[in-house]
Structure 1
Amino acid sequence: MFGRPTSLFPPERTLPGRDSAPYELPARHRVLGTPLLADPADGTAPAGFEVAYFGLGCFWGAEEVYWRQPGVYTTSVGYQGGETPWPSYEEVCSGLTNHTEAVRIVFDPAVVSYADLVKTFFEVHDPTQGMRQGNDVGTQYRSAIYYTTPEQAAVAEELRKVYGEELARRDLDPITTEIAPAPTYYPAEPYHQQYLDRVPNGYRCHATTGIAFPSEG
Structure 2
Amino acid sequence: MMFGRTPQLPTPEQALKGRSTPEFQVPSRHTVLGNPLAGPYPEGFEVADFAMGCFWGAERKFWETPGVWTTLVGYQGGYTENPAYEEVCAGVTGHTEAVRVVFDPTAVSYEQLLKVFWESHNPTQGFRQGNDVGTQYRSAIYTHSPAQLAAVEASREAYQQVLTGARHGTITTEVLPAEGRAFWPAEPYHQQYLDKNPAGYCGIGGTGVSCPIGVAKAEG
Q: TM-score range by the shorter chain?
A: over 0.9
Which of 175, 180, 183 is 1:179 aligned to? 175
Q: Which residue identity does 1:211 align to in structure 2?
A: V
**Aligned equivalents of 2:175, 2:163: Cα separation in 1:** 18
Q: Which residue of the partner structure matches residue 125 of structure 1?
A: 121
Do structure 1's residue 206 and structure 2's residue 204 form an aligned pair? yes
**Aligned equivalents of 2:175, 2:48: Cα separation in 1:** 12
Q: Which residue of the partner structure matches residue 20 of structure 1?
A: 21
Q: Which residue of the partner structure matches residue 86 of structure 1?
A: 82
Q: CA deviation at 1:10?
A: 1.6
Q: Which residue of the partner structure matches residue 10 of structure 2?
A: 9
Q: CA deviation at 1:207?
A: 3.0
Q: Which runs of 5+ in 1 are unaligned?
A: 39-43
Q: Which residue of the partner structure matches residue 41 of structure 1?
A: none
Structure 1 segments of 4+ aligned residues over 6 angstroms from their partners: none
Q: CA deviation at 1:45?
A: 1.9
**Aligned equivalents of 2:66, 2:167: Cα separation in 1:** 33
- What's the RMSD between the two structures over aligned residues? 1.3
**Aligned equivalents of 1:170, 1:68: Cα separation in 2:** 27
Q: Which residue of the partner structure matches residue 70 of structure 1?
A: 66
Deviates more, 1:5-14 or 1:160-169: 5-14
Do structure 1's residue 191 and structure 2's residue 185 form an aligned pair? no
**Aligned equivalents of 1:23, 1:9: Cα separation in 2:** 25
Aligned residues: 211
Q: Which residue identity does 1:121 align to in structure 2?
A: F
Do structure 1's residue 45 and structure 2's residue 44 form an aligned pair? no
Q: How does 1:75-114 map to 2 (within 5 A)?
A: 75-114=71-110
Deviates more, 1:25-34 or 1:91-100: 25-34
2:100 aligned counterpart, secondary structure: strand
**Aligned equivalents of 1:48, 1:156: Cα separation in 2:** 21
Q: Which residue of the partner structure matches residue 139 of structure 1?
A: 135
Q: Which residue identity does 1:99 align to in structure 2?
A: H
Q: Which residue of the partner structure matches residue 153 of structure 1?
A: 149
Q: CA deviation at 1:3?
A: 2.1
Do structure 1's residue 54 and structure 2's residue 53 form an aligned pair? no
**Aligned equivalents of 1:62, 1:83: Cα separation in 2:** 22
**Aligned equivalents of 1:75, 1:82: Cα separation in 2:** 20
Is the Cα contact below 8 Å between 2:2 and 2:134 reproduced in 1? yes
Is the Cα contact below 8 Å between 2:57 and 2:194 reproduced in 1? yes
Q: Which runs of 5+ in 2 are unaligned?
A: none
TM-score, L = length of structure 1: 0.94
**Aligned equivalents of 1:95, 1:209: Cα separation in 2:** 26
